[in-house]
C-alpha cells in the first residue's frame, strides 16, 4: 500500500474527534474499529517474515505512533476464518512497545474492508515450547525484582521451552547484576546462560488479553467467559 493510500485510510477510518486542528496543524490518530463492525477478528500466533516502516509524514499534520507493514506466517490459528497461510497487516508501535522485535507473537488482527490491522497494541511475544507456545514471565512485569507480581494476572507456570530460551550470557553480569537484571521468579541461571523457565501458556494468554480489553471481550465472548 502506498504512503498516500495508508494515510488516507488512517483519516477515513478515524472517528471525527481523531482528526483535529492544533495551531493549524492537523493531528491524525487511528483508533481500532469495533471488531464485528468493520470485519472479522483474527487471533493467531504468527512468525514474522518481514517488517517494514511506513512513511506517513505529511504537510501540516502529526501522525501518532510509528506505523509498519508486517507480514507473518501462521504458526497456530486460534480464531476466525483463516484467509491464508500468510497475512500482511499494519501495526502501530508506541515508544514503549516493540512489536517487531519478536520472531513469534500472539496477535489480534481486525479487518478494514480489504485491509488488516493489528488491534492497537494487542500482541504478546511468545516462544515455542514442547507442546505449543508460551510467554516468558508475566504479562505485567514489575520494574524491580523486589516488587510483587500483579495478583490479578494469570499464574506463572513452569514451562519447557523448545529450544531452551536463552535471554542473556551470565558471564557479562556482575554478582549484583545477576540478582537485579533478571527476575528469579521466571528466570534461572544455567551455567553461563540466563534462561527463561516460567511463563504463561498460550490459552491463558489469550484469555487474559481478552479479559483486559473491553472491545475484545465484546467481540470474543467465548474467550472472555473462559477467562473467568
Q: What is the Cα–Cα distance from 110 to 115, expressed in whole angstroms?
A: 8
Q: Is residue 217 classed as helix, strand or coil in its secondary structure?
A: helix
What integer is the mean pLDDT of 98-119? Answer: 89
Which residues have a Cβ under 8 Å from the Cβ of 36 and sit 6 or more positions away?
218, 219
Distance CA 184, CA 58 (A): 47
Average of per-residue pLDDT across 13-31 = 39
Q: What is the mean pLDDT of the chain?
A: 81
What are the structural domains, with CATH classification, of the chain?
Answer: 3-128+201-226 (2.40.50), 136-199 (no CATH)
Portion of the chain with pLDDT greater than 70, in percent? 75
| Confidence category of residue 94, pLDDT binned at 50, 70, 90 | low
Give the C-alpha separation, 1 to 134, whole Å.
Answer: 33
pTM of the model: 0.80
pLDDT at 145 over 50: yes
Q: Across residues 1-13, what is the average pLDDT?
A: 41
Q: Which three cell numbers stand for residue 52?
A: 517494514
Beta bridge partners of 201: 134
Output the CA–CA distances (angstroms, integers) from residue 45 to 8, 100, 169, in the order listed. 29, 14, 28
26, pLDDT greater than 60: no
Lowest mean pLDDT among 43-47, 88-92, 151-155, 221-225: 221-225
Residue pointed to by grid coordinates 551470565: 170
> 132 with 201: CB under 8 angstroms?
yes
Q: Measuring CA to CA, which residue among 31, 13, 30, 14 is closest to residue 215?
A: 31
Cβ 108 vs Cβ 216: under 8 Å: yes
Spatial CA neighbour of 116 closest among 63, 47, 64, 68: 68
Amino acid at each position: 500500500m502506498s504512503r498516500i493510500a495508508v494515510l488516507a485510510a488512517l483519516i477515513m477510518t478515524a472517528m471525527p474527534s481523531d482528526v483535529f486542528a492544533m495551531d493549524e496543524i492537523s493531528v491524525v490518530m487511528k483508533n481500532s474499529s469495533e471488531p464485528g463492525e468493520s470485519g472479522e477478528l483474527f487471533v493467531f500466533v504468527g512468525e514474522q517474515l518481514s517488517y517494514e516502516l511506513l512513511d506517513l509524514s505529511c504537510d501540516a499534520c502529526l501522525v501518532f505512533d510509528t506505523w509498519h507493514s508486517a507480514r507473518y506466517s501462521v504458526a497456530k490459528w486460534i480464531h476466525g476464518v483463516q484467509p491464508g497461510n500468510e497475512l500482511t497487516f499494519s501495526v502501530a508501535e508506541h515508544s514503549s512497545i516493540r512489536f517487531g522485535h519478536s520472531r513469534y507473537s500472539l496477535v489480534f488482527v481486525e479487518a478494514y474492508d480489504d485491509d488488516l490491522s493489528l488491534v492497537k497494541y494487542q500482541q504478546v511475544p511468545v516462544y515455542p515450547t514442547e507442546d505449543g507456545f508460551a510467554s516468558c514471565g508475566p504479562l505485567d512485569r514489575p520494574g524491580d525484582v523486589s516488587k510483587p507480581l500483579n495478583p490479578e494476572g494469570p499464574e506463572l507456570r513452569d514451562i519447557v521451552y523448545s529450544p531452551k530460551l536463552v535471554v542473556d550470557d551470565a558471564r557479562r553480569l556482575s554478582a549484583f547484576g545477576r540478582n537485579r537484571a533478571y527476575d528469579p521468579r521466571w528466570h534461572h541461571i544455567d551455567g553461563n546462560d540466563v534462561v527463561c523457565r516460567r511463563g504463561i501458556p498460550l490459552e491463558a494468554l489469550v484469555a487474559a488479553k481478552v479479559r483486559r480489553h473491553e472491545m475484545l471481550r465484546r467481540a470474543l465472548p467465548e474467550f472472555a467467559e473462559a477467562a473467568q
